[in-house]
Amino acid sequence: MADNKIKRDFRDRGRVSAEEDYEVRYFAKQHRISPEQVRALIGEHGNERKTLEREARKLRG
């Protein structure tokens, strides 16, 4: 289901949705990794943003 960008709700701010291309692209650009790597991280570690940020740093580092 697509996000309704008119509704402003921050309950899922701590998560990255693998189904939303713009979220994946933004996270990938922010951490200088590919969108495919982001989706792989989500598949392996879940979609919690803090966990994904930690694992993205390991990929780059």
Q: Please state, for a pLDDT cut of 70, what percent of the chain lies above it.
A: 82
Q: Does this model's pTM top 0.85? A: no
Q: What does the pLDDT read at residue 44?
A: 97
Q: What does the pLDDT read at residue 37?
A: 96
* Residue 13 binned pLDDT confidence (cut-offs 50, 70, 90): confident
Domain ranges of the chain: 21-60
Decide if pLDDT at 41 tops 60.
Answer: yes
* Residues near 45 by beta carbon (within 8 Å), at least 6 away in sequence: 51, 52, 55
49 CB burial (10 A radius; 0-12, 13-18, 19+): middle
Q: What does the pLDDT read at residue 7?
A: 65
